[in-house]
A = this chain, B = another copy of it.
Amino acid sequence: MSQITPRTLSGFMELLPAPQQQMERFLQVLRETYSLYGFTPLDTPLIESAEILLAKGGGETEKQIYRFQKGDADLALRFDLTVPLAKYVALHAGELSFPFRRYQIGKVYRGERAQRGRFREFYQADIDIIGDGKLDVANEAEIPAVIYATFTRLGLARFQIRVNNRKILNGFYEMQGLSEQAGDIMRTVDKLDKIGPENVQKMLLEGVGLSEEQADAIMRFISIRGTNAEVLEQLAPYQGRNKLFDQGLEELITVVKYLSAFGVPESHFAVDLTIARGLDYYTGTVYETLMLDHPEIGSICSGGRYDNLAAFYTDRQLPGVGISIGVTRLFYVLQEQGLLNEELNTAPSEVLIIPMTEDLTAAGQAATFFRGCEIRTQLYTEQRKFKAKLAYADKLGIPFVAFLGEDEAAQNKISLKNMQTGEQQLLNLVDAANVILEDMRVRNNGKLIKS
């Protein structure tokens, strides 16, 4: 038969079974945590009409999108979860209750140039809260709590949620008479971490064309640092000069005020006036999240407040706030950095039952009993040498092997071998199940990310 060499497309993640088990844990933690905060799961099609997905237009998106014809239909694969959400809310608004809180975890597609650590198919995990007409700022205060809970439950210890407010930035530039240059300035300031303050100042003068005085004002502003209280204190003198600024500051004060009530320790949160998050979408609070030991990765969870989700599909004003985690890339980085907890069981089962008799009845019964105890169980039925069977369990990392020979079957017992310690015990099924369940309890106590 003429064969085709099997391959997976470049830029598409395809994991081996053990890391896939870790990825499943990752997704499960996200589902559970998002649910705890009152977000309801959504699932929208991967394919939409191209007209719907490209309603907003825009060059980058259009270049990267997977777009194709099927019959007469002009179709495309979604490139994020926000546009499908906008469509969903506009389409079903009459059947939804607002504020509408949804999470969605799904694959999105961008035909970027393939390179190491960049994916063309990747999971995003988004939450959004959508209001009908208006949405209270308290929702913006709650988002850091979701971010904190998510990464803490994943096991990450050293991370920081950085927050700013676009109204503060825009108000500040208005104050300085620099509204027109605001875009250029923010793009320049965004390079602060990479090129340092001297170069930023130089670019503000030469690139953007600001006066010395204007550039100094900006440099003074973005160098405001300290605890949350200290930053807010340094912002106070700017108050009373611009309405937008005052509103933004008030919102920021509210967000900071409720941190502790929402369970976010000050250590994991910082007001950072250099954060802008793009130019045209966000209108209020903006969020970034940094791994403190790996700042080079950039933000692992970002988002913000926007004034109108679905202007392209409906006249209804739908303000919202949301964040997104680029799951595939983050998982890839965690894997590369060796940050995934390898003590967690990545085997397909907790116990492998190896029958030592030709008749499989007793072994089948033992498997059925264990499964009834919610123990993941595999029965090994291939005709192979004993050593090969043990090697199978060993290679997969299955924690326990249960032997069932004639002696064991006659006594209604099994020989349970702990593959890590080598200890082997003759036990009845109930006792064996308890040994395995206790081992699972201890093992599953660990979190996905090593801290």
Contact = CB atoms under 8 A, between A and B. Distances in A.
Interface of A: 1, 3-9, 12-17, 20-21, 23-24, 31, 35-49, 51-52, 55, 66-71, 73, 75, 86-88, 90-92, 95-97, 99, 101-102, 107, 109, 111, 121, 131, 134-136, 138-139, 141-142, 145, 149, 257-258, 261-263, 310-315, 347-349, 352, 360-365, 367-368, 371-372, 374-379, 381-383, 392, 395-396
A47 B67 CA distance: 13
B9 A47 contact: yes
Contacts of A311: 1, 3
A87 to B, nearest CB: 5
A47 B376 contact: no
18 contacts: A3-B311, A6-B88, A9-B73, A12-B45, A16-B92, A16-B95, A23-B43, A37-B378, A38-B348, A46-B107, A66-B70, A135-B382, A142-B364, A149-B371, A257-B361, A261-B363, A261-B364, A263-B368
Given A111-B71, A138-B379, A40 B348 contact: yes
Given A8-B87, A16-B92, A121 B45 contact: yes
A9 B142 contact: no
Nearest to A95: B16
Nearest to A55: B4
A92 B16 CA distance: 8
Nearest to A350: B38
B367 A262 contact: yes
Contacts of A348: 35, 38-40, 101
Contacts of A35: 348, 376
Contacts of A263: 368, 371-372
Given A9-B49, A36-B375, 12 more contacts: A1-B311, A6-B52, A9-B47, A14-B88, A16-B92, A20-B42, A40-B348, A97-B392, A131-B382, A135-B382, A141-B364, A263-B372
Contacts of A68: 66-69
Nearest to A391: B97
Q: Which 9 A-B pairs have the closest CB atoms?
A: A38-B378, A68-B68, A261-B364, A138-B381, A40-B348, A12-B45, A38-B349, A263-B368, A6-B91
B40 A262 contact: no
A360 B75 contact: no
Residue in A6, A68, A95 with the greatest tally of chain B CB atoms within 10 Å: A6
Nearest to A93: B6
Residue in A45, A73, A258 with the greatest tally of chain B CB atoms within 10 Å: A45
Contacts of A67: 68
A430 B371 CA distance: 34
Contact of A14 (B44, B352, B361, B364): B44
A14 B95 CA distance: 13
A122 to B, nearest CB: 11
Contact of A8 (B6, B48, B66): B48
Given A35-B376, A138-B360, A368 B99 contact: no
Given A66-B68, A121-B47, A6 B37 contact: no
A36 B371 contact: yes
Contacts of A107: 46
Contact of A97 (B7, B38, B379, B395): B395
A260 to B, nearest CB: 8
Contact of A361 (B49, B101, B258): B258
Nearest to A135: B382
A163 B365 CA distance: 21
A312 to B, nearest CB: 6
Contacts of A111: 70-71
Residue in A24, A39, A257, A379 with the greatest tally of chain B CB atoms within 10 Å: A379
